[in-house]
Amino acid sequence: MQRKSQAALEFLTTYAWAFIVILIVVAAISYFGILRPQKILPDRCNFNVGFDCQSYTAGLAGNFNLRLRNGLGQTITVTGISLSTEAATGLSGCTIATPTLPYTNWASGNITDLTWSACNFAGSGFARGDKAKIFVRMDYFDTKAGSVYAHIAEGEIFTTIT
């Protein structure tokens, strides 16, 4: 009986050490940045139902461009648009250049280019080639219903800073 116990204990000890070594190797690879899933993940743009993300770019020079299609089935008026990062802070200095707000009569099915300038991506900790997660918040209302029935659309863009 004692021999079986000793064999079982040796078996468990050997595999426990092997498991610990594997954990240490994976931790070291992650710590030194060799295993960076953000570099592997593709760029993507997700928006609320009703808005279709056509294209997007973010440049270290401070420009951010977003092309959206209104798929709500109604003409809307956009009253405000803001950008923020994962740190839940707005991008400093980032102001919308086009269209001017309020953006009225955005017809259903129409595509609009939204452009921001003076976005301080470097100040938010991003460098050229880094992946950035940018959150977009858009306040709008159905033009026929009026501003009393305001809505919020939110989007998430995961892109490479160029």
Q: List phi, psi (to 5°) of 35.
A: -100, 85
- CATH number corresponding to 41-160: 2.60.40.10
Strands of 22-63 (E only): list them. 44-47, 51-58
Residue 1's DSSP bridge partners are none
Q: What's residue 90's pLDDT?
A: 65
Query: Strands of 64-70's sheet, edge to edge?
Result: 51-58, 64-70, 111-117, 95-98
Q: Is the pLDDT of residue 131 over 80?
A: yes
17-39 pLDDT per residue, tens: 889 999 999 888 878 877 776 77
The arithmetic mean of pLDDT across residues 99-125, rounded, is 91
pTM for the structure as a whole = 0.77
